[in-house]
Each structure stands twice: as C-alpha cells, then as structure tokens.
Structure 1
Amino acid sequence: MRLSRYFLPVLKETPSEAQIVSHRLMLRAGMIRQQAAGIYSWLPLGYRVLRRIEQIVHEEQQRVGHIPLLMPTLQSAELWRESGRYDAYGPEMLRIRDRHDRDMLFGPTNEEMITDIFRSHVTSYKDLPLTLYQVQWKFRDEIRPRFGVMRGREFLMKDGYNFDLSREDALHAYNRHLVSYLRTYERMGLQAIPMRADSGPIGGDDTHEFLVLAETGESEVFYDSEITDLRFGGREVDPDSHAQCRAVLDEFTSRYARTDETHDAAMFEAQVPEARRRVARGIEVGQIFYFGTKYSEPMGAVVTDGEGNRVPVHMGSHGIGVSRLVGAIIEASHDENGIIWPEGVTPFHCGIVNLRQGDAETDAACEALYKALVARGLEPLYDDRDERAGGKFATMDLIGLPWRITVGPRGLKAGVVELTCRRTGESEELAPEMAVARIAEIYAGL
C-alpha cells in the first residue's frame, strides 16, 4: 500500500476524552473514530489489525478441531426465557421489540441460541464431542463505557461452545481450550496469565480468565514472578490427549495470578516464597467456563447414551475479546513515540520511507523494494508522500510497524538501505536485496 493513496487520518494532538494509552494512540494513529458512547468505527489501519487478530483466533481454534459457524446478532427473548436468564441478566442486555411487538434482544452472548441449534440436530452420543464457535459482534449496554475499545458497548468477540457426554469429557474440552488460548495469545506477542475467576451471569463452577499484565488493567492481581518465564513456545500438545492438556493446565496455573476477590491472600503467601511475590494490574482478554447442564437441562439438549438413556449434555463456553485485544496489545507494547506492534498482528509487515521523494534514483529504489516485498507475499506500507523526513519517521513510529526500511541518496551511493527495528531502535545498513530477505525471514515462521 502506498501511503499517498491510503486513508490514514493521524492526529497530532491527543483528544481530551482519551484516558489511557491505547485509546490515545488508536485515535492518534487513525485506527478508530467514536460514533457514540462505547461505539466505534474501525478505520482502515485499525480494521487491518482487527482482522489479523481474528485470523489467528480462527487458525488456533480450527487447529484443535473446533468448527466455525455464524449466528445472528438479534435473538428471540423466548430462548432466554427458557433458560431463565432473560429477566436475570440485567440492564446490560439491550432489549427491543420488532414491528410485530415480539420481544427481541441484541445478543450479549449466545449460550441459549447455540443450545437451541444443538438440540435441533444432535440426538446421539455418537455425535459427541462437538465444539462450535463464531467470531461475531456483540452488544452490552455498559453503564460507563470508557477506555476506548477496552470497555466498549459494541465489541467483536470469539465465543465457542463445547457439548460433551460427561463431566470428565467436558473438563477435557475446558483444558483443551486453555492450551489453545495460551498458544493464541503467544502468537499475538502477549504473555497471558490464566487465573481463576468468578463466572458472573454465564454461570458454572469452573472458570479461568486470561490477564495481560499492564499498568492500566482493571483487575488487581497477585502473581508469582516466575510465571513471566513460562512460554508455550513450540511445544506440540495433542488436543485429544487428556493427560497432555491437563499437564499444561497444571504448569500454567500452579503459579498463576490470584485476585483478592477469589483467593485468600494467606493461601498465596503460603504457596509462593516472598522473594517471588508480585502485585500488578491485568487486562482481561478472554475467559473459559464449564457450566455442566445449566442450559441443556432447562432447554432439553439431551442425547441418547451408550445404554439407551436420554441424558442432558455437559457444556462449556469460551470467549476471546477480539476487539479488546487490539487495545490490550497496545497497552502492553508501546513507547513515548507510539505503538509497537508484534509481528503477528501488525497491520503492515514493514514500512518504506523515501527520504527524497522526487529524486529519480531514490524513487526507483523504493519502487524496487516495494515490488520485491510484495513478490515475497508481504504487505509493505510505502511512505511516498512529499513530506519532510521527520514527519515520515514520526508517522511510522506512531503507527508502530515493527520494521522500517529507509532509503536515501547517500545510502544508495554506497549500495545500502537502512533497516530499523521499531522495538529496539537498532538499525543496520544492508544491500536492498538483503533487507528484503531479512524481512521475509522474520515473517516466514509466523
């Protein structure tokens, strides 16, 4: 993409309504525009990041055998009355009526609808286990929407639902989701800590939420400092192996963060040596639940087991805040100059800065670099504007592309361009073809 032809409405001044780093930088970098309280338009740059994150979620869900579908955003109130949640959910649910005076709602979650789909089509234990998921826009009428996309009213979310014959099978699905989520967040450049949590209106006794440590997090957490050394890495875990998934769960939760709301501080102190105890704040970016037969029993989601008995299925749900993750990544990865995107979610793989636009040799070198990167399957952003070098560098730093290739007459005379890492600020001079090869190598394993 050539910046002269792109829609990137960057702001020099920080809007007064932005209270946290991610909100300020998303507005300044031209990623979003507020349309109403807690409701945003995703402008081209922000939309590209949103889709990168969504693609990683899809890939990791399907990697463990989960099946995508798409449910409507508007739901019938009758389904929620069957489960008993229509009146109990609270004012966060946006309740509406259609032209025929039927009660409807803008879905905040989809347990009832997915249960209705299941009971209509699955009748035998032979069709289990089954996990269905979607990535869909949802609406919760927050009383105080704030912090940009971190606590908006309309948000993009992955919600998945498992159906199993027994509690044991459903808990394996729970563990499998935890493993899948750890891999998902790591691909986005995040260290997410799984932490026991309250189930809230979703229900159920077993639930973990995933926190990304950041100063602006809403949750206060206690954690073992050694947890920052845990990485899922390249380990292969068989999603069908109960033992392997459980082992990962135990490893990642034996020293996980604990909140003063759900755990006695004395228990934490007894388990973790004083030298390793830390207190921090965390941003919730996902949550998994096992809730047994909470929905299947009242809504009649039953199957015939191996002995011919009709039994309610055991269920769980699993959410990832796709749009919230955009803000969380920025909170965890930025500096005073702007965003620093991890390679896995960057809107463009690298930037090309032309230091002397209009100079024939420099223009030709930039065009050659651009075409060479595209030929490698990469998506560069070429700043071909007639703009001062300082302005071009400021824009690149603000929007946070992880790599930048700078091209100028002086370097070209020596046969080199400058390759700069946004995270470290370190630069090296390379022949143009070597710079292209280096960028291609960086992204080859992602």
Structure 2
Amino acid sequence: MRLSRYFLPVLKETPSEAQIVSHRYMLRAGMIKQSSAGIYSWLPLGFKVLRKIENIVHEEQIRAGHIPMQMPTIQSADLWRESGRYDAYGEEMLRIKDRHDRDMLFTPTAEELITDVFRSHVNSYKDLPLTMYQIQWKFRDERRPRFGVMRGREFYMKDGYNFDLTKEDALHAYNRHLVSYLRTYERMGLQAIPMRADGGPIGGDYTHEFLVLAETGESEVFYDSAVTDLTFGDREIDYDSVEQCQGVLEEFTSRYARTDETHDEALFNEIPEERRRTARGIEVGQIFYFGTKYSESMNASVQGPDGKNTPVHMGSHGIGVSRLLGAIIEASHDDKGIIWPEGVTPFHVGIVNLKQGDEDADAACDALYKSFAALGLEALYDDRKERAGGKFATMDLIGLPWRITVGPRGLKNGVVELTSRRTGESEEMPPEAAVAKIAEIYANHRVVGM
C-alpha cells in the first residue's frame, strides 16, 4: 500500500479523553474514532489489525477441531427467560422492543442461543462431542465505558460452546480450549497467564481467565513468578488426546495464579517469598465449564447409549478479539508509539523514501515494494512528499516491526538501511539482501492476511 493513497489520519496531539497508552496510540495512529461513549468506528489501520487477530483466532480454533458459525446480534428475550437469566443478568444487558412490542436484547453472550440451535438439531449421543464457535459483535452497557477498546460497550468477541455427553468429556473440551488459547496468544506475541477466576453471570465451577500483565490492567492479580517462565512454543499437541491436553493444563495451572476475586492469602503465602508477585492484569479471554446449567433449564438433551435421555454437559469459551488489540499495545510500546509483534502487524515492513521525486530513489522503492508483494508480504510505502523526520515519526507511531530507508546517498553505495522498531538497531545492506532478511523473519511467523 502506498501511503499517499491510504487513509491514515494520524494526530500529533494526544486527545484529552485518552487515559491509557493503548487508547492514546490507537487514536493518534488513526486506528479508531469514537462514535459515542464506548463505541468506535474501526478505521483502516485498526480494522486491518483486528482482522489479523481474528484470523489467528479462527486458525487456532479450527486446528483444535472447533466449527465456525454465525449467530445474530439481536436475540429474543424468551430464550433468556427459559434459562432464568433475563432478569438476573443486570443493567449491562441492552433490552429493546421491536415494532410488535416483543422483548428483544442485543447479545452480551450467546449461551441461550446456541443451546436453542443444539436442541433443535441434535438428539443422539452419536453426534457428540460437538464444539461450535463464532466471532461476533457483542454489546454490554457499561456504566462507565473507558480506556478505549479495553472497556467499551460494543466489542468483538470469539465465543465458543461445547456439548458433551459426560462431565469427563466436557472437561477435555475445557482443557482443549486452554491449549488452543495458549497457542493463540503466543502467536500474537503475548504471554497470557491462565488464572483461576470467578464464574460471574455465566456461572460454572471450573473457570480460568487469561490475563496479560500490564500496569493499566483492571484486575489485581497474585501469582507465582515461575508461571512467567512458561511458554507453549512450537510443540505439537494432539487435541484428541486427553492425556496431552490434561498435561498442558497441569503444566500451566499448577503454579499459583489468581485474580483478586478468587485470591487465597493462605495458599499464596505457601509460595517462597522471593517468587510471590502482585500486579495488574488485562483479561483477554475466559473459559468455563458449567455442566448442565443451561441444558437442564432449556431441555437440551440427547439419547444416551442406554436409550435414556440425558442433559448434555456444556462449557463456553471466550476471547476478546477487539480487546486483544489494546492489550497488545499495552504490552508492546515505547514513548514513540506502538511496537507490533510480527504476528499481528498491519504491514510487514515500512518503506521510507528520503527523497521522493529522485529518479533512483523512486525506482529503488518501487522495486522493493514489488519484491515484497511477489513474496506475499505487505509493505507500506511512504511515498509522500514530506520531510524525513515526519515520515520516521509516522512509522514509529504506527509501529511496523521493520523499516527500510532508501535515500540517494545510500544508493550510491548500493545499500539501503534496515531498522528494527523494537531495538532501534539499523544495518546497511543491498536492497535484495534487505528483502531476503525480511522474508526470512516472516518465514518463522505464519503470515496472516486480512
């Protein structure tokens, strides 16, 4: 993409309403624009990253054997009355009436809706296990929306739902989700720690939140520092293997890590003092097992091997897709702007032409641009007739991991400058060598498109 043809409304000044880093940089980098309190338009750069994150989530869910679908954003209140949650959910639910005076609501979550889908089409244990998911806009009418996309009213979320014959099968689905989430977050350059949490309005005795440590986190967390040494890495997991998934769960949850809602001071004090940590955390996902809570109240049962009807065991599993964008910025930035991990960067490399209009510089930049396109890599070419300082500031603000700087002086020596946004280190090399190095870097990261 040529920057002269792109819509990137960057701001030099920080808007007064932005209180945390991610909100400030998302506004300044032209990624979002507030429409009303807690509701945002996603401008091209922000939308591009949102899609990168969404596609990683899709890939890892499908790898785990989960089936994508799509449900409506508007639900009938009747389903929620069946489950008993319509009056219990609270003021966060946006309740509305249609023109026929029927009670409706804007989806905050979809346990009732997916249970209705299931009970309408599945009636035998032979169709189990079954896990379906969607990535869909949700709405919760927060009393005090703040912090940009971190605590908005409208948000983009992956919510998945498993249906199993037994508790043991459902807990395997729980463990399978935990494994897939660990892989998902690491592909985004995040370390998200699974922590024992409270079931809240969704319910359930088994639940873990995934939190990214950050000073601006809304939750206070208590943990054994040993959990921060754990990485999922490139290990291959057979998602059908109960033993492998259980092993990963034990590895990542055997160390103490809890939110303030479930913190146990006595257990925490059993950890060696030098490993006890308290911090703030940003929730980016949560998994639940809640047994037959919804299947019993909504009559979602199947005929078992013994010929008798039995309520299915269920769980729900969410990832905050739009919230993740803010969490990544909170975890990866400096005083110049965002620093995107390679896995989610909107463009793989930036090209800065120091002398737009110079025949040799223009030709070299065009050649680089075409070389990256041929490799399936997206370059953002700053071809504006702007000062070099302004071009560098824009690149630093929007946070592309790599920048290639092209100027007449370097070209006379047959070189361009390749700069790492994370370290600030630069290296001069021939243009074709710069292309090869960028290609090698992304060969180690699965390239995710729009």
What's the TM-score, normalizing by structure 2? 0.98
Alignment partner of 1:19: what SS? Answer: coil
Look up the SS of the partner of 1:295 in the other structure: helix
Q: Check if 1:114 corresponds to 2:140.
A: no
- Post-superposition offset of 1:259: 3.0
2:5 is the counterpart of 1:5: yes
2:125 is aligned with 1:125: yes
Q: Does 1:417 align with 2:423?
A: no
Do the aligned residues in 1 keep the contact of 2:219 with 2:260 (CA within 8 Å)? Answer: no
* 1:381 equivalent in alignment to 2:380: yes
Q: CA RMSD in A?
A: 0.7
Paired residue secondary structure (2:367) = helix
State the secondary structure of the residue aligned to 1:258. Answer: strand
CA distance in structure 1 between the partners assigned to 2:39 and 2:312 by the alignment: 37
Q: CA deviation at 1:145?
A: 0.3
CA–CA distance in structure 2, aligned partners of residues 259 and 51 of structure 1: 29
Residue 257 of structure 1, CA deviation: 2.0
Task: Say if 2:195 is the partner of 1:195.
Answer: yes
What is the rounded CA distance, in whole Å, between the counterparts of 1:227 and 1:87 in structure 2?
39
Q: 1:88 to 1:420 in 2, by over 3 A?
A: same
- Any conservation in 1 of the 2:222–2:263 contact (CA below 8 Å)? no
Please tell me the residue identity of whatever aligns with 1:104: M
1:149-185 Cα deviation digits (max 9, x unpaired): 0000000000000000000000000000000000000
After superposition, where does 1:16-415 map in structure 2 within 5 Å?
16-270=16-270, 272-415=271-414
Q: What is the rounded CA distance, in whole Å, between the counterparts of 1:184 and 1:47 in structure 2?
A: 19
Q: Distance in 2 between matches of 1:257 and 1:277?
A: 10
The 1-side partners of 2:395 and 2:33 are apart by: 20
- SS of 1:200 mapped into structure 2: coil
Rounded to whole Å, the distance in 1 between the matches of 2:16 and 2:344 is: 28
SS, match of residue 398 in structure 1: helix
- Please state whether the residue corresponding to 2:14 is helix, strand or coil: coil
Aligned counterparts of 1:192 and 1:200: Cα–Cα separation in 2: 20
| d(CA) in 2 for partners of 1:65, 1:188 | 20
Give the conservation status (yes or no) of the 8 Å contact 2:222–2:278: yes
Q: Which has the larger displacement, 131-140 or 256-265?
A: 256-265
For 2:259, what is the secondary structure of its paired residue? coil
Ranges of 4+ aligned residues in structure 1 off by more than 6 Å: none
SS of equivalent to 2:116: helix
What SS class does the counterpart of residue 380 from structure 2 fall into? strand
Structure 2 unaligned residues grouped into runs of 5+: 446-450
Separation of aligned partners in 2, 1:120 and 1:73 = 19
What displacement does 1:256 show?
Answer: 4.3
> Secondary structure in 2 aligned to 1:395?
helix
- Once the two structures are TM-superposed, the CA of residue 258 in structure 1 deviates from its matched residue by 2.1
Give the number of aligned pairs.
445
Q: For the Cα contact (< 8 Å) 1:193–1:256, is it kept in 2?
A: no
Query: Runs of 5+ in structure 1 lacking a partner?
Result: none
| Partner-residue secondary structure (3-state), 1:202 | coil
CA contact (8 A) 1:194 1:256 kept: no
TM, length-normalised to structure 1: 0.99
1:300 deviates by 0.8
- SS of the aligned residue for 1:251 comes to helix
| Residues 201-260 of structure 1: CA deviation (Å, up to 9, x unaligned) | 001111000000001001111112222211000111111111111111111111242234
